[in-house]
């Protein structure tokens, strides 16, 4: 449904209790900065003369530029995202469980995917069966994983039969690989590291590893390891918005998680170049300022002169960097940003910028 230039999704539920529960669950997800559709409201409607006169509904904002999983298997040119789909499901479940969320109905049908700087972001759509705890138990986590495996297996089997695809794919092994990815990620995030008391620099190293995985570190726990001069270190991670927050604080740019990571890497590359050129250390804030004024803004402005000014500038710039990588690989050398911008304007369809 479209209203005042926004598109909304309306979901019918069996009763008002379920509609209210799902609405509250989605609101709680928003407060925890977890990836989900935005809840707007819920209502009970009475439609005189209808076969079912009393209807309960949930209203959410339609997720812009989102793709249902079927598109990733059916649409030409989307094959390269299928592997990333598996990673995004595993990462989504880890994020929910870290926040104490038992989903209860993880399936491909209940997830929307959105391309974010070459990666796939996964967003929760359905939360009828969800329960939000202060801390989720291992039993509940394992239950969620088993539900995911059963549902995803069913989704892919139905898809394979309907469209005669995935003929050479072992769906059972594919589904198992999601749980393997989940377990590897969960174990890495939650593992304890033993360090010497004089190796406090390893605390920073551990934080850096988790940040590079996309997770923020809320707190570091240190306790004696039972041996002299040994400490057990455990990092308590929160949301996956670390890169987004850092980019915004440095540049004022509001971008999606993966886009933020890509642009921060670009700033770090510029910083390394400046350090080498000036033969001294350059603060990240200084590099970010120069990047924003001399690299990002001029590049985006050139593209917007040729295409619609309503395009997402963060998405455009990340697409530009990806295009530069493809051109450079093809040429066997760095083609440079100016040549990339020229080729991008001439050969890239702006409509695809927001979808792929």
Query: pLDDT, tens digit, for every residue of 233-273?
Result: 777 776 666 678 788 888 999 898 778 888 988 898 888 88
Record the pTM. 0.67
Residue-wise burial string across 70-106, b where 16 or more C-beta atoms lie within 10 A, e elsewhere = eebbeeeebeebeebbbbbbbbbbbbbbbbbbbbebb
Q: Quick check: 308 pLDDT over 50?
A: yes
> What is the average pLDDT across 21-32?
91
Three-class SS of residue 116?
strand
- Map tokens 């620099």 to a residue: 201
- 37 with 63: CB under 8 angstroms? yes
> What is the average pLDDT across 277-297?
91
Three-class SS of residue 208?
helix
Q: Which of 70-74, 137-141, 163-167 comes out lowest in average pLDDT?
A: 163-167
Residues 115, 259: Cα–Cα separation, whole Å: 10
Q: Quick check: 137 pLDDT over 70?
A: yes
Predicted pLDDT of residue 352:
55
* H-only helix segments in the chain: 16-31, 69-74, 82-98, 138-163, 171-190, 201-212, 242-251, 257-278, 284-291, 297-306, 313-331, 337-347, 350-353
Predicted pLDDT of residue 219:
66
What Å distances lie between residue 188 and 170, 182, 324, 353, CA to CA?
27, 10, 33, 34
- Length of the chain, in residues: 356
- 190 with 232: CB under 8 angstroms? no
> What is the average pLDDT across 315-329?
88
Question: Which is more confident, 223 or 17?
Answer: 17
- 56 with 128: CB under 8 angstroms? no
- 58 with 13: CB under 8 angstroms? yes
Work out the angle at residue 346's Cα, subtended by the Cα atoms of residues 343 and 347, and round it to the nearest 5 degrees.
Answer: 80
> What is the average pLDDT across 29-47?
85
- 103 with 124: CB under 8 angstroms? yes
Residues 135, 123: Cα–Cα separation, whole Å: 21
| Percent of the chain residues past pLDDT 90, beyond the cut | 31
pLDDT band (50, 70, 90) for residue 354: very low
Q: How far is CA 109 from the centre of its chain?
A: 17
**Sequence-distant (≥ 6) Cβ neighbours of residue 315 within 8 angstroms:** 117, 259, 353, 354
Q: Which of 104-118, 226-240, 241-255, 275-289 comes out lowest in average pLDDT?
A: 226-240
What Å distances lie between residue 217 and 20, 33, 122, 141, 239, CA to CA?
33, 14, 21, 21, 8
Predicted pLDDT of residue 237:
74
């Amino acid at each position: 449904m479209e209203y005042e230039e926004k598109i909304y999704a309306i979901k019918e539920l069996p009763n008002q209790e379920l509609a209210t529960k799902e609405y509250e669950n989605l609101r709680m997800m928003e407060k925890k900065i977890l990836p989900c559709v935005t809840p707007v409201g819920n209502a009970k409607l009475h439609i005189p003369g209808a076969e079912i006169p009393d209807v309960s509904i949930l209203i959410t904002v339609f997720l812009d530029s989102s793709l249902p999983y079927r598109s990733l298997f059916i649409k030409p040119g989307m094959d390269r995202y299928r592997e990333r789909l598996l990673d995004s499901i595993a990462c989504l479940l880890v994020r929910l469980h870290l926040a104490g969320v038992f989903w209860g109905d993880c399936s491909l049908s209940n997830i929307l995917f959105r391309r974010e700087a070459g990666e796939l972001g996964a967003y929760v759509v359905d939360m009828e069966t969800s329960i939000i705890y202060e801390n989720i138990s291992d039993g509940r986590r394992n239950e969620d994983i088993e539900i995911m495996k059963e549902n995803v297996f069913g989704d892919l089997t139905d898809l394979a039969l309907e469209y005669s695809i995935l003929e050479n794919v072992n769906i059972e092994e594919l589904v198992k690989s999601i749980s393997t990815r989940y377990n590897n990620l969960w174990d890495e995030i939650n593992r304890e590291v033993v360090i010497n008391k004089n190796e406090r620099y390893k605390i920073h190293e551990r934080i850096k590893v988790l940040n590079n995985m996309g997770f923020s570190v809320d707190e570091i726990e240190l306790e004696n390891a039972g041996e002299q001069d040994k400490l057990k270190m455990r990092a308590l991670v929160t949301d996956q918005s670390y890169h987004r927050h850092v980019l915004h604080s440095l540049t004022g740019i509001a971008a999606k998680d993966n886009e933020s990571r890509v642009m921060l890497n670009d700033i770090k590359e510029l910083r390394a170049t400046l350090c080498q050129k000036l033969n001294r250390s350059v603060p990240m804030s200084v590099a970010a300022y120069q990047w924003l004024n001399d690299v990002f803004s001029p590049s985006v402005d050139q593209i917007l002169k040729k295409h619609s000014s309503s395009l997402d500038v963060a998405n455009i710039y990340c697409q530009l960097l990806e295009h530069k990588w493809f051109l450079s690989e093809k040429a066997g050398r760095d083609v440079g940003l100016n040549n990339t911008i020229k080729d991008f304007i001439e050969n890239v369809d702006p409509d695809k910028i927001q979808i792929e």
